[in-house]
Structures are given as C-alpha cells and as structure tokens.
Structure 1
Amino acid sequence: MPYFSSATAALTRLEVARAARNKKFLFFSVIYPSALFLMIGGIQDGATKVPGTELTMPAFYMVAMASFGAMTAVLMGNSERIAKEREKGWVRQLRLTALPGRGYVVAKIASAAVVSLPSIVIVFIVAAAVKDVRLAPWQWAALTGTIWAGSLVFAALGVAIGYLASGDAVRPLTMIVYFGLAMLGGLWMPTTVYPQWLQNIAEWLPTHAYAALGQAIELGGAPHLKDLAVLGLYLVLFSGGAAWLYRKDTLKA
C-alpha cells in the first residue's frame, strides 16, 4: 500500500488545518522570521558586504531568515506534536485505522512543508519591499524551491526527535537543537566572523549547508556539490533515525 494513500492525504489536510488555527505556531513559523529580518537585516547598510563574500548584508539575512523560518515550521512543529500525540495515545489509535503504517510520519512531513512555504515567501516580500533586494525571476524561483526542498532535512529531524523524546522533554531538547544549529550554522550571523576553529565545525552542519544553497543562487551560481552532499548525508541520517525510532515505537504499541 503506498504511503501517501487517501487516508494519508486526509490526515495531511487535517494537520494543515490544525496548524492554520494555531496562532502561536503561525506567529513563530511565519511572522517571526520576517520580524527577525527587519530587526537584524533591516538595519544593515545595503552596500555593506558580508566579509569574505560578494553578498550584501540584507541579501545574506534574507536567505538566512527564510531558511530559519522554514526550519522553525518543520522542526518545532513536528517534534512537539509527535511526542505529545504519542503520549496521549493518538498515534496508537491511528494505527487501528486505514492509515498506512508510516502514513502518519509522511502526513507530518507533508503538512509541515505546506506551512513552511509562507514563511519563505513573506521574508522575500519584506526583503524586496523594505531593503530593495533585487534578483532575477529565476533566482527568486530557485531560492523558493531550494529552501523549501531543503527544509525536508529538518522535517526528518523533527520526526526523529518526536519519537525520541517524551512529551515533557521534547521542548527543551528541540530548543537546544534548534537554536544550536541556527547559531552555529550561521543563520543569525555570518560564520566568517567566527574564530577559525568554529568555522571549521560550522561548515559541516546542516544549517550552514542549507543557507549556503540559497547564497550560491543569490550570487548567480549553482549550489556547491559539497553543500548538497552534506545535506543529503544529514537527510539519510535523520530519515534513517526517524524510521528506526518509528519501528521501535511501533513494537511498543
């Protein structure tokens, strides 16, 4: 039976509707990244370049905050919801329905991806309107698709954390991972200002590779193979971990 069956599609629609009604979640995943861009990137001089690159500071923070917003939607939303629904027995009840075995996980990732798209687009609109960031049409389209697709890496991580942690422990664990990856990976400031030893660590983090994809497109080029390979490796790692934890949780049910 295919994972994205009619039952999975129905659950995906339900998850999207639930997210749309959650004002707190919508604020942090959709509005918050744009507000951060205005607070950090909005005060930057449009002519100032990021050290060691040809990117202007507003352009750098546009991609950084769009990536941060997409990561917020898929990581924070998945981890907490899955952990709490496991604790309440909702996941166990769904296994008694026509929903395919992994349809629940697929629905969570798909619904998170739907919610993450507005956060990306709104950051772009704000950057263009407020800081006059100008790109070619193909660059806007490529940026949107790349950042959106790249967020699946963090959606898989959110699923893994949701199956790893209990309802009480999931929020602090997610926050540590979330802010740690964001800060060390260069979503809040360019990694070129870090000490060299920290730059060496940052370049192997998924958030650094994630932001680098968009930065390469902004400069008019294609994403670097190293960044694609790093993200691919983390996708396999997080997806494999989520699948293993899912099977382990299924055996307990």
Structure 2
Amino acid sequence: MNSLIKLELTRALRNRKFLFFSVIYPSALFLLIAGSTDKIDGTGLTVATYMMVSMASFGALTAVLMGNSERIAKERESGWVRQLRLTTLPGRGYVIAKTASAAVVSLPSIVVVFIVAATVKDVRLDAWQWLALTAAIWAGSLVFAALGVAIGYMASGDAVRPITMITYFGLSMLGGLWMPATTFPDWLQSIAKWLPTHAYAALGQAIEQSQSPHAKDITLLVAYFALFAGGAAWLYRKDTLKA
C-alpha cells in the first residue's frame, strides 16, 4: 500500500493543471477578493482573515475532491483497478491510498494561502492559531476526500467531470467559501448552515476568533464523513461484484 501511495503522490505532483487549480488558483482568488479592511457582519473578522480560511478550505476541497473523483473513474474504465484487485492489495488499501495521497497534496493548498495572507495582506495571528488552522482545515478535508472516492465509483469516465463540477461549485458557493453566507437571503442561509462546506469553514473561523469550534459543526462533519465513507465503501463493493 505504501508503494501505491508514493505512486499516487508522484502522479499528482506531476500534474501541473491539478497543482494550478488546487494551489495557485485559491491564492489568486484570495488576493482578488480580500481587498477590503471592513469587518464581516456577525463574525468580528476582517474580510482578509475571513476569506483566508475560506480560500484555504476551498483549495483543500479542490485538491481532494477533484483529484480523487476523476482519477478513480478513469482508472476503473482503463482496467487499472481490476489489475490491482489481482494483487495482494486489499480493497480498503486502494481507498486508503487514494484518500491519503489526496490529503497530503491538500496541505500545500492550505499553506500557500496562509503565506500569501500573511505576507501580502498582513494577516496576523498567534502561532497556535496558525498551527490549529492548518490542522483543522487539513483534517476537515478528509470529509471531501471520501466524497471524491464515492463520486469516482458512482460515475462513469464521461459523466464524472460534470457531476464533480456541479458538486464542487455547488458546495463552494452555497457553503459560503466564495462569499460570506451572511450575505445570502434568510432562506438560503438556513440551507447553507447544514452543508459540510459551511461547517468546514466555520472550524477555521472559530479558531481565528480564539474560540473552540462549535459542536454542531464538528458533528456535521463527522456525520458527512461517515455518510461519504460509507457510500464509497458500498460503491466499491458493488463495483467489485460487477468486475
């Protein structure tokens, strides 16, 4: 399994398009959006500090969701997954390798946004906050890594990209990663509060406010992870029976 993880990491790091959208793109969006020094209503955070967490979360989401779903669907169609089943690698090893490699690649997405925020936008936090933010956003990305695996086993090679893009943009926009959810109409805010991306960004925003993450947000993320991971496991078993 370690060899497969190394292979997955090497492939991801060689994919320049993937690295651009997961590492450079979120930082560029942050520079475009975080130009104001005003504070976001109801948070006490400036636009720069608020959007720093949102764009770091967005970058990690891009890395784990986009990377996993399309690659798995294509590997299923090419016969690579079938070949791996002939080896001693257990089924869970393949899923773990995909999730682990995606999680490692998501780390630069987070760190680069933080570096840009600190050096260009002069965002200042305590050392413990930087470390806690990195850990929380990185750990939270595993929820979307599991979702990526599930989509990869659910969709065909032709359908996986539109399904992933709809999921990706829908969760990003409605979850408040591109703009504060407080700017939404009341009915849309009620929906956004139950989305995994909203809870995901809320972890970092709580840390920036020197508060503990809300129990509701943690519970939501754990529930979504169980749902996505369980769905991925079921789809994997279903795909195995087809093979």
TM range (shorter): over 0.9
Deviation at 1:51, TM superposition (A): 1.3
**Counterpart-to-counterpart distance in 1, 2:118 and 2:214:** 25
Q: What secondary structure, in the 3-state scheme, does the structure 2 residue paired with 1:102 have? A: helix
Q: What one-letter code is carried by the residue in structure 1 that aligns with 2:17? A: K
User: Greater CA deviation, 190-199 or 92-101?
Assistant: 92-101
* Residues 36-185 of structure 1 mapped to structure 2, 5 A cutoff: 36-41=29-34, 43-45=35-37, 48-185=38-175
C-alpha separation in 2, matches of 1:56 and 1:109: 33
Q: SS where residue 151 of structure 1 aligns?
A: helix
Q: Residues of 1 paired with 2:96 and 2:133: CA distance?
A: 24
Which residue of 1 is the match for residue 206 of structure 2?
A: 216
Structure 2 unaligned regions, length at least 5: none
- The offset of 1:195, in angstroms, is 0.5
2:9 maps to which of 4, 9, 16 = 16
| Per-residue CA distance 1:12-55 (angstroms, 9 max, x = gap) | 000000011100000001111111101111x222xx11012201
Match of 1:5 in 2: none
- Shift of the alpha carbon at 1:109? 0.3
User: SS of the residue aligned with 1:166?
Assistant: coil
- Report the Cα offset of residue 100 of structure 1: 1.5
Q: CA separation in 2, counterparts of 1:222 and 1:174? A: 32
Q: Deviations over 1:144-196 (max 9, x none)?
A: 00000000000000000000000000000000000000000000000001000
2:19 to 26, 47, 53: 26
Query: What is the CA–CA distance in structure 1 between the aligned matches of 2:166 and 2:51, rounded to whole Å?
Result: 22
The alpha carbon displacement at 1:101 in A equals 1.9
User: Which consecutive unaligned segments of at least 5 residues does structure 1 have?
Assistant: 1-7
Aligned amino acid, residue 8 of structure 2? E
CA RMSD of aligned residues (A): 0.6
Residue 120 of structure 1: how far off its partner (Å): 0.2
> What TM-score do you get using the length of structure 1 for normalisation?
0.95
**Once the two structures are superposed, what CA deviation does each residue of 1:91-114 show, in whole Å capped at 9, x if it has no partner?**
000011121222111100000001
Alpha-carbon separation, structure 1, partners of 2:18 and 2:11: 10
1:45-104 deviations in Å (ceiling 9; x for gaps): 2xx110122011000000000000000000000000000000011000001112122211
Counterpart of 2:207, as a letter, is I
SS of alignment partner, residue 141 of structure 1: helix
Q: Distance in 1 between matches of 2:133 and 2:43?
A: 18
Percent same amino acid at aligned positions?
A: 76
Runs of 4+ with deviation above 3 angstroms: none
Letter in structure 2 aligned against 1:18: R
Matched pairs, number = 243
